């Protein structure tokens, strides 16, 4: 078995199926076979997750033949709890997407500082002793911050100093966006949202020592506020951002975490305005690098993961354009 589970493996595992796979791999290791590093992405729905693309692709590039990475349909707290309690030693960690990020944060025995501030986690890793054996406890982290930091590095020429950042949206991805802006040295953040729910981010922004402000997306001053910003980070669906894309693209740089459709209307608006822009595929790559390191101890390159995602997307687009050639297509 090399970087996978065989051609007859299900595309998406149930919790029960995953635990059965884990038990089989654990028994194989006990019988003297090469130990597997079993990981999974948890979510509902999870079928279209691109995490296997970056993790298995990176393992292949690094010559890691032991990584097995699958999708598991799981998101309820009871499902996450069962996986944490019953996963054997060969399980090296979980990537967590919606709706399980809150459960991952709440059920872990230990939580990193940044995950605690953000209030959710996208990474679960078993704590191991000095001999490398799992202790039975788990740590939760939020590597979405790393993904957004990679996006910021791609579009910012230098330290923003006292720069102003703009975050569009007030949902789950907006919180690691705030953390990434703080890590990059921004001094203030304006949150753009449809309602006063933007205030949900005030405590988080101020906890990092940054000034907080907010504005409705339909405010006449939208373009003026964006034009004064070093960067706009949009975390809302493509259609919503596209409706005000011209104003958002007035910022000096643009990050759009959405990658479906690709390119997004906001990305096109930013390119049309001559602004540097980074995308959700780069965010996915950036957060995946730190996950892979925590799972395996090896560190792939962000650029390598990004190339994997772009190549996968080109293949998917080609298959969609020629349905007759999709029999062996992937994700």
Residue pLDDT, tens place only, 1-27? 445 555 567 799 999 999 999 999 999
Cα–Cα distance, 258 to 235 (Å, whole number): 7
Identify the band that residue 323 occupies on the pLDDT scale cut at 50, 70 and 90: low
Helix intervals (H) in the chain: 15-30, 51-62, 77-86, 101-107, 113-118, 144-155, 174-183, 202-207, 222-227, 238-243, 245-248, 265-272, 280-296, 302-321
**101 annotated active-site:** yes
Full-model pTM: 0.92
Q: Where are the domains of the chain?
A: 15-142, 145-282
Question: pLDDT-derived band of residue 320, with 50, 70 and 90 as boundaries?
Answer: confident
Percent of the chain with pLDDT over 70: 93
Cis peptide bond N-terminal to 136, omega within 30: no
User: Which architecture characterizes domain 15-142 according to CATH?
Assistant: 3-Layer(aba) Sandwich (3.40)
The predicted structure's pLDDT at residue 317 = 85
How many CB atoms sit inside 10 A of residue 162's CB?
11
Kindly indicate the confidence band of residue 190, based on its pLDDT and cuts at 50, 70 and 90: very high
What CA–CA distance (Å, rounded) separates 65 from 315? 24
Same fold across 15-142 and 145-282: yes
Span 171-186, average pLDDT: 96
Could you read off the pLDDT of 252-271 as tens digits, one per residue? 999 999 999 999 999 999 99
Tell me the per-residue pLDDT of 111-159, one tens digit each, with 9 for 90 and over.
Answer: 999 999 999 999 999 999 999 899 999 999 999 999 999 999 999 987 6
Over residues 212-236, the mean pLDDT reads 97
Please name which of 199, 159, 198 lies closest in space to residue 181, comparing C-alpha atoms: 159
CA–CA distance, 63 with 237 (Å, rounded to integer)? 37
pLDDT tens, position by position, 67-124: 999 999 999 999 999 999 999 999 999 999 999 999 999 999 999 999 999 999 999 9
Catalytic choice (101, 164, 175, 275):
101
DSSP 229-280: -SEEEE-S-HHHHHHTHHHHTTSSSEEE---SSSS-HHHHHHHHTT--EEEH
* Beta-sheet pairing, 91-96 with 123-128: antiparallel
On the question of a cis peptide bond just before residue 281, with omega within 30 degrees of 0, the verdict is: no
pLDDT averaged over the chain? 93
Can you tell me the distance from the alpha carbon of 180 to that of 146, in angstroms, rounded to the nearest whole number? 7
Cα–Cα distance between 285 and 290 in angstroms, integer?
9
The pLDDT > 90 percentage for the chain reads 88
Q: Which class is 145-282 in CATH?
A: alpha beta
| Out of 150-164, 196-210, 239-253, least confident range | 150-164
User: What pLDDT shows up at residue 319?
Assistant: 84
* pLDDT value at residue 1: 45
């Amino acid at each position: 078995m090399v970087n996978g589970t065989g051609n007859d493996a299900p595309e998406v595992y149930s919790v029960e199926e995953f635990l059965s796979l884990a038990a089989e791999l654990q028994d194989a290791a006990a019988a003297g076979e090469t130990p597997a590093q079993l990981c999974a992405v948890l979510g509902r729905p999870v079928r279209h997750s691109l995490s296997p693309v970056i993790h298995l692709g990176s393992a292949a590039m690094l010559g890691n033949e032991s990584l097995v990475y699958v999708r598991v349909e799981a998101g309820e707290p009871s499902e996450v709890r069962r996986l944490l309690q019953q996963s054997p030693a060969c399980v090296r960690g979980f990537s967590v997407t919606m709706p399980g990020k809150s459960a991952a944060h709440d059920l872990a025995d230990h939580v990193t500082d940044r995950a605690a501030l953000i209030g959710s986690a996208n990474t679960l890793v078993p704590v191991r002793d000095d001999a490398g054996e799992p202790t039975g406890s788990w740590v939760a982290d939020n590597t979405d911050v790393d993904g957004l930091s990679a996006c910021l590095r791609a579009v910012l020429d230098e330290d923003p100093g006292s720069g102003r950042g703009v975050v569009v949206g007030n949902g789950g991805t907006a919180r690691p966006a705030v953390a990434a802006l703080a890590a990059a040295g921004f001094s203030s953040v304006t949150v753009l949202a449809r309602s006063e729910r933007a205030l949900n981010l005030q405590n988080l922004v101020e906890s990092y020592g940054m000034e907080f402000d907010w504005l409705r997306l339909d405010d006449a001053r939208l373009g003026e506020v964006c034009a004064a910003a070093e960067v706009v980070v949009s975390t809302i669906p493509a259609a919503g951002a596209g409706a005000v894309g011209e104003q958002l693209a007035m910022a000096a740089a643009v990050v759009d975490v959405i990658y479906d459709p690709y390119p997004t209307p906001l990305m096109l608006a930013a390119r049309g305005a001559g602004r540097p822009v980074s995308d959700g595929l780069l965010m996915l790559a950036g957060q995946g690098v730190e996950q892979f390191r925590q799972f395996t101890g090896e560190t792939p390159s962000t650029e390598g993961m990004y190339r994997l995602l772009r190549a996968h997307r080109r293949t998917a687009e080609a298959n969609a354009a020629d349905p007759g050639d999709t029999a062996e297509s992937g994700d």
